[in-house]
Amino acid sequence: MRMLHTMLRVGNLEKSLAFYTDVLGMKLLRRRDFETGRFTLAFVGYGEEETHTVLELTHNWDESSYDLGNAYGHIAVGVEDAYQACEQIKAKGGKVVREAGPMKGGQTVIAFVEDPDGYKIELIQQDQDARV
């Protein structure tokens, strides 16, 4: 067994695709409209679905926003340099909500960014133990 994907509901698919591809550097792997169900699925990731866990962005055509609730945590992405990644994300218009630095009570360098729908993405610097 292996993890296949994580699904996020997004209010504006084009804005979300721009964030995940242009700002975070993922690839659009596939996209499909479901006319009778009035929704679109778009899969993005850093590698092909056969070998990598990816994100499924679900856009329900009749919804423009969602209540994220308080149970959702974040998606984690490994980066070589969290400080540089934050600068690159900001330069591309992304929102950094926690600048890079050591996590509380530890030494692992982390940062948090936010996608257009308010989902948090944790950046974990990979030159250290990333199993936080």
Give catalytic residues, as residue numbers. Answer: 122
Continuous segment of H or E residues that includes residue 91: helix 82-91
Q: What is the spatial distance between Cα 23 and Cα 43, in angstroms, rounded to a whole number?
A: 16
* 123: exposed, middle or buried (Cβ count in 10 Å: 0-12, 13-18, 19+): buried
